[in-house]
Structure 1
Amino acid sequence: MRFPVFTFTQAFGFFLGLVFLTGASGHSWIDLLTVVGGTSSTAMTTINHQGFIRNYKGHIDATASYRLLDLNQPVCADFQQVVNQIGMPEYPQLNASAGDFVQGTYTENGHISLPASPTAKSGMTYWFGTTNPNGKATLKDILAWKDGNSSEGALLSTAPFDDGVCVEVNPSEISKERVAANGGVPPGPCKSTFKIPETVAPDSVYTVYWVWDFSGKLGNDAPDHVEWYTSCMDIKIIGKPSTNNVSSPNSQSAKVPKIKGREPKL
C-alpha cells in the first residue's frame, strides 16, 4: 500500500486548517513584566526594568500554565508556591519602585482568533497585589479583594483579555484584519498594566497575582462553565531616588502609559 507524500508546505497548511477547525487548545500566562512608567523608568537607569513570574522557564505550557476549575483551588500552581522563586538565572524577578506602572504580556493562543464556539468570550483579566502573601490562599480568597475592603490585599487593575490589538498569526479573519491594521506585521502579544501602590515600602517584596476568567470559553454551549488561569509573581521594591530626580506627580510620565488598544481600569 502506498501512502501519499506531502511537501512541508502542504503538511503545515493542513495543520493550520485543523487548528482553525477545532479551535484553540493552548493556554495563556504572563510571559514578561516591564516597568513602563513612573519612578523607575523615568529617573533611574541602573535597575532591571524587566522580570518574570515565579519559576519561569520559558514559553512552555507545561511549566507556566495553571488552570483552575474550582474557586477553592490554590491561587498559585504547585510550581509557583514559593515567594521569590526563580526558575532560571536568565529569568529574574522584576525590580521596581512604589508608584511604578508595570505591564504584563501574554499570548492569546487562539482564544481571541480561534474561539471554541461562535458565542465564546475571551473574558476578563485582573491584577491583585499584596505585601503579605499567604501560601494557602485560594482563588476565592483573592477574588474577595475586589470589593476594596480587604486588609490582606487589593485589586490593582482590570482589563479585557482581548486588548483589541493582539493576535496570533493563523487563517482566521480577525488575525488577517489585525495584521493588516498593523502594516502587515504581527502586532505581538496582548498587554495589560497595573500600578504598584505608592504605600509599598522600599526594600520589600510585593506579590502580584494575574487572574484570567475564561469561564466564557464555550459561550452559550455551557453557560455555567468555570475556568480560570493564574500567574503568580514577586516584585522586588527598590528605594525611590531623591525628590530632585523624580518627575512631578502631575507630569505625563507619572500617569498610566498609553498602550495601543484597550486601556486597563486602574
Structure 2
Amino acid sequence: MPSIFTTTLAALAVAPLTMGHTWIEQLRNVNDKGEYVGEYGYPRGMVSKTDTGYTGDSMNWLLPVQPKVFIDETSPLCHTSQTKQEQSSDKYPRLQAVAGGFVAMRYMENGHVTMVDPATGLGKPEKGGTVFVYGTTEPKEDEKLVDVLRWTQDGSGGDKRGALLATNDFDDGRCYEVNDTPISQERRVSDPNFAMGQVADGPGNYPLFCETNAKVPDTAPEGKPYTFYWVWQWNTAPNVDPGLPTGKDQYYTTCMDVDVTSADTALTADAESMYALGPQQDAMSIAVSDFASRTAIMTDALQGEVGPVFSGSATATGGAPAASGAPANSSSKAPASAAPTAPALTQITNIPTMTTRPSAAPEPTSGSGEVVTVTDILYVTVTAGASGKPSVTASAPASGTTSVPASSTTPAPASGTVSSVLGGFTVPSGAAKREIQRKNGAKFRGMFAN
C-alpha cells in the first residue's frame, strides 16, 4: 500500500498558497465540431506521473527561481529539460498539427479550481489566473521569460521573434479533480469523465483535465516545427496579503513544439494512439464549448506583472521588494542598505502528484488498501525574520494553525527514499504532530505515518 505520508506530501506548498504545480501533460487537435482528433502530442522532455523516475520537478517549472520574489531579465522561460526542441522518447511524440487549426493544451488543475481557499489565497487573481500562449518559429535555447512576455498579438512587441496567440483563464469552466468539494461534484455531473475505454453512466469518477486553447497561425510553415510557450501567470497583487506587502511573482511554464503538417494527417478522426499510456489518457472526446472564442479576464501580461522588471524601479536587478513596502511598480527607491520586508520564500517542488488516478476500471473496494484519498489541503508557510532563521507554519482550512520550528541542520534524504524532510524542514513530530491531528481529526488521520 502506498504510504499515506507520501500521498499527503502532494498537498504541501509554499506560502501564501500553492496547492499543486501545473504543467501541460498532453496536446490534442480540435476539429471544427469541437472534437479531439488525431494522435496525442506531448511537450518537450515529457515525463508522465506514471513513469519510473518521475518526481515533482520532472515537469514543474516555477519562476522566479527562489529565493527571488520577482522575475528579472535572467529568468529562464523553459524547464532545464525543455530548452532544446527534443522529445523525451518515442512514446511522447510531438503533436501533428495543421496551420489554422486549434490545439487543446491539457493540464490538471491540482486544486487551483476546486479547492481554492480565499483565506489563504489573498491577492491571487480570479479564475486561477491567466494563461498566455506565445508562438514562434525562432525559439532560443536560452529563452528568457521577460523577452517572451513583451511579445504582442501583432508580432511587433519585444524582439519581434514571436507573437501572443491566446489568453485563457486558468479555469476553463469544466475541469476538476475528484474530491468532495461542491464544484467538483457539480462538474462531475455536468461534464462526467472516465478512464480510457470505460463506459459508465452517472457522475464522472475520473479527474478532468483543464485546457488552454490556441490557434496555430495560418502562416505557420508546413513541414517545420512550430513552438508554443505556455505561460501561467498566478501572481500575488501588492497591498492585499499583509505578509507580502509588495506582492509576489508566480509563473509556471511549459515549452513545446508541434509539427505542422496536412489536415489529412493531423486531423484524422479515427486515429488511435500508438502507445497505450493508461491513466495518462482519459475518455473525454470533446473540447470546451468555447474553444475557438475564449479570452481571459486579464489579457495584458505586463499589466499582470507585479514586480519591477517592466517598471524600472530600484529593485529591478535585485529581484526583492523595496524595503518601504511600496507597491512593486512604484518609482520610489529604497535605500541600498535596506533589507526586504517580505518573507523569504523557500520553494518545495520535489513532491509527488496530488491525485491518485484510478485504473481503466476504477471501482476500488473500500479497505482494499490500494487507493488513498486526500480530501483536504495542508498549507505550509515558510518565513524568515531578522535573524534569518526560517520557520514553518502548517495549517488546514478553518482548523487553525500550528507553527513548527524548522531544522537548519537536517541532512538531505538519500536518493530514492521516503523521508520526513521537506526542503530542509522537518515534518512535525511528538506534541506538534499530535496537536495537528487533534485539531483536524479524520481529515489528516495517519498523515505522518511512516
Please indicate the TM-score interval, normalised by the length of the shorter structure. Answer: 0.7 to 0.9
**Partner SS for 2:113:** coil
Moved more, 194-203 or 71-80: 71-80
Cα distance in 2 for partners of 1:170, 1:103 equals: 24
- 2:186 pairs with 1:191: no
Structure 2 CA distance, aligned partners of 1:98 and 1:196?
5
Q: Which stretch of structure 1 is more off in the superposition, 191-200 or 58-67? A: 58-67
Per the TM alignment, residue 131 of structure 1 is displaced from its structure 2 partner at its CA by 0.4
For residues 75-114 of structure 1, give each alpha carbon's deviation from its aligned partner in whole angstroms, at most 9, with x where no partner exists: 111111111x111211111111211111110000011222
2:146 to 140, 146, 165: 140
CA distance in 2, matches of 1:15, 1:57: 21
Structure 1 residue 174: deviation in Å? 2.3
SS for the counterpart of 2:183 is helix
- Judge conservation of contact 2:78–2:253 (CA < 8 Å) in 1: yes
- Alpha carbons of 1:220 and 1:167: their partners in 2 closer, same or farther (altered >3 Å)? farther
Aligned residues: 231
2:252 aligned partner: 229
User: Match of 1:195, as an amino acid?
Assistant: K
After superposition, residues 170-189 of structure 1 pair within 5 angstroms as 170-182=179-191, 183-185=202-204, 186=206, 188-189=208-209
How far apart, in 2, do the equivalents of 1:219 and 1:235 lie? 41
Structure 1 unmatched ranges of 5 or more: 1-7, 242-256
Root-mean-square deviation (Å): 3.2
C-alpha spacing 1:216/1:173, structure 2 compared with 1 (3 Å): farther
Q: Contact 2:45 / 2:81 at 8 angstroms: preserved in 1? A: yes
Which residue of the other structure, out of 121, 132, 137, is the alignment partner of 1:131? 137
In structure 2, the gaps of 5 or more residues are 65-70, 192-201, 265-285, 297-450
Which amino acid in structure 2 is aligned with residue 75 of structure 1? L
In 2, Cα distance between the equivalents of 1:177 and 1:220? Answer: 31
Residue number in structure 2 paired with 1:31: 25
User: What is the 5 A alignment of 1:80-119?
Assistant: 80-83=82-85, 85-115=86-116, 117-119=120-122
2:379 aligned partner = none
Pick closer, same or farther for the CA change 1:217–1:15 going to 2, 3 Å.
farther
2:47 aligned with 1:57: yes
Scaled by the length of structure 2, what TM-score is found?
0.46
> What is the one-letter code of the residue matched to 1:27?
H
Question: Which of 62, 66, 73 is 1:67 aligned to?
Answer: 62
Structure with higher RCO (Cα < 8 A, 6+ apart): 1
Query: Under a length normalisation based on structure 1, what TM-score does the superposition of the two structures give?
Result: 0.75
Q: Mark the structure with the bigger radius of gyration.
A: 2
Give the structure 2 partner of residue 244 of structure 1. Answer: none
Query: Which of 50, 55, 79 in structure 1 is aligned with 2:81?
Result: 79
Does the aligned pair in 1 maintain the 2:237–2:247 contact within 8 Å? Answer: no
Q: CA deviation at 1:127?
A: 0.9
In structure 2, how many angstroms separate the alpha carbons of the residues matched to 1:113 and 1:219?
26
Equivalent residues of 2:47, 2:88 under 8 A apart: yes
Deviation at 1:219, TM superposition (A): 9.7
Greater shift, 60-69 or 180-189, is seen at: 180-189
Deviations 1:228-260 (A, max 9, x none): 01000011112466xxxxxxxxxxxxxxx9624
Percent identity between matched residues is 31
**Is the contact made by 2:166 and 2:214 (CA closer than 8 Å) also made in structure 1?**
yes
Q: Write out per-residue CA displacement over residues 134-161 of structure 1, whole angstroms, 9 at most, x where no aligned residue.
A: 1222110001013531331011111000
